[in-house]
Structure 1
Amino acid sequence: MNNVSKVAVNAFSGLGAGDGIFMWGNQLTVIEEEVWQPLLLDDVQLFLGGNPLFCGCDIAWIVLNPTFLNLIASDTTCATGELLVDLDPTFYEENC
């Protein structure tokens, strides 16, 4: 745990399919699309468990994309304790 609360765009480079970024147990509250989408497009796995993630409309881009959702570790939870993999895509389609 490093208490990371923000990650800059292009903070990670040279990663590809099968690689992983381990950010477990930090202070991330958002999964910013401009930071993480390029990595997910390259099939990089994200390990984000133990972060107080806000799971509002800002993560619809993940919840509505099964490929992206599969690249996020299944133990990743929202600050409320709900697993990302258990979030209802229909809610995000209708409300975001």
Structure 2
Amino acid sequence: MKITEEVKEVINNNIVHLATSSKDGKPNVVPVGLCRVISDHELLIVDVFFKKTRKNMEENPRVAIAVEALEELKAYQLKGKAKIFAQGEWTCPNG
């Protein structure tokens, strides 16, 4: 599903909440301050202190994010699969 311009704007300008679960189904949700839309179908989320979150994504790549712009009364949820890149493996498409 394509991420609309309206959803992109809300994601790029607000804190998102990233939901993961372990291979046993134990859920975990963390706030993420650095999340940017990098294409019509992809987000880039920077791993700062993702110990449990990263382990969950390694075991089970299914994730969801929730983001809201309360002053505008807008909220969105996106679901997908995580792909983990080691430091230096990912290059910004815009240089």
Which TM-score tier does this pair reach, normalised by the shorter chain?
under 0.3
Query: TM-score, normalised to structure 2's length?
Result: 0.25
Which of the two has higher C-alpha Rg?
2
Higher percent of residues as helix: 1
